[in-house]
């Protein structure tokens, strides 16, 4: 475990980075064996980078990260750095999973349940700005309209909502098995949305996922029912 922190950010980063081992161990319980031989973090000054980046083994943060952001970027070691999308259009397989990881972390550490987060997003009370709520439904998570939108709100939050719909359909235990199985099946490989939907359907052949794919993954606009 290696960390490199700009001296200006050392004090502000100390408490969160002290939880790095805890976060990785939680990820192993939730997603399966950690896919690499080392882990860590790089913390830059806030003005040196405009966003966090899930670089393999050592995510980069623009200033001292929050615990939520640390969880998000560590989750990317499984979903994004090990299981890597075949095309940029499949970015929701990275960002939806990492976003949902923060929902699970909050749920298990005294915060909102994933269901409550999902409900707030659907009700339009999650974001402080109305523009973000409108953007959530501006395109389907699996169909960003162009390169400028591959990191849009639908890819992150909409992608996480797709995963929550799957969890509602299969139940908590099978869903957690699905998270681990997906990371294991495509470990250190490439996968696209079609691979994922096929995997989900094969994992629970008795369930019907057609409505989720049609309304939440590929559908235009806000689904009529949460």
What are the domain boundaries of the chain?
A: 2-75, 85-217
Average pLDDT of every residue of the chain: 97
What single-letter DSSP state applies at residue 89? Answer: G
46 CB-near residues (< 8 Å, 6+ apart): 62, 63
Please state, as a whole number, how many other Cβ atoms lie within 10 Å of the Cβ of residue 194.
11
Instruction: List pLDDT tens digits, range 59-108.
Output: 999 999 999 999 999 999 999 999 999 999 999 999 999 999 999 999 99
Percent of the chain with pLDDT over 70: 100
Q: Which long-range contacts (CB under 8 A, 24 or more apart) does 213-217 make?
A: 216/141, 216/158, 216/161, 216/162, 216/165, 217/140, 217/141, 217/142, 217/162, 217/193
Q: What is the phi-psi region of residue 32: left when phi exceeds 0, alpha when psi lies from -120 to 50, beta otherwise?
A: left
What is the third-level CATH fold of 85-217?
Answer: Neutral Protease; domain 2 (1.10.390)
Q: What is the pTM of this model?
A: 0.96
* Residue 47's pLDDT band (cuts 50, 70, 90): confident
Structure token pair of residue 81 = 């750095």
Question: Could you tell me which residues come within 8 angstroms of residue 63 by beta carbon, excluding any fewer than 6 positions away?
Answer: 9, 12, 43, 44, 45, 46
**Burial readout 40-63 (b: 16 or more C-beta within 10 A, e: otherwise):** bbbbbeeeeeeebebeebbbbbbb
Whose tokens are 């969880």? That residue is: 71
pLDDT, tens digit (0-9, with 9 covering 90-100), for 111-142: 999 999 999 999 999 998 888 889 999 999 99
Which residues, in sequence order, are CB contacts of 204 under 8 Å at separation 6+? 169, 170, 174, 178
Q: What percent of the chain has pLDDT over 90?
A: 96
Q: Which fold has domain 2-75?
A: Zincin-like (3.30.2010)
Q: How confident is the model at residue 189 (pLDDT cuts 50, 70, 90)?
A: very high
3-state secondary structure of 40: strand
């Amino acid at each position: 475990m290696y960390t490199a922190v700009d001296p200006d950010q050392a004090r502000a980063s100390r408490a969160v980075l002290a939880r790095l081992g805890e976060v990785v161990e939680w990820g192993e319980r939730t997603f399966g064996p950690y896919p690499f031989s080392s882990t860590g973090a790089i913390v830059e000054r806030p003005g040196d980078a405009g966003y966090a980046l899930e670089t393999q083994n050592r995510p980069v943060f623009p200033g001292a990260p929050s615990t939520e952001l640390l969880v998000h970027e560590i989750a990317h070691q499984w979903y994004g750095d090990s299981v890597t999308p075949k095309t940029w259009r499949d970015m929701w397989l990275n960002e939806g999973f990492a976003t949902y990881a923060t929902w699970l972390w909050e749920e298990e550490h005294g915060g909102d349940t994933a269901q409550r987060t999902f409900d707030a997003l659907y009700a339009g009370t999650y974001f402080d700005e109305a523009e973000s709520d409108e953007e959530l439904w501006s395109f389907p998570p699996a169909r960003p309209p162009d390169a400028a939108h591959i990191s849009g709100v639908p890819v992150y939050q909409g992608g996480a909502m797709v995963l929550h719909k799957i969890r509602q359909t299969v139940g908590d235990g099978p869903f957690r098995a699905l998270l681990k199985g997906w990371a294991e099946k495509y470990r250190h490989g490439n996968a696209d949305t079609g691979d994922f939907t096929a995997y989900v359907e094969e994992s629970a052949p008795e369930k019907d996922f057609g409505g989720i794919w049609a309304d939440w993954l590929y559908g235009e606009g806000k689904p009529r029912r949460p």
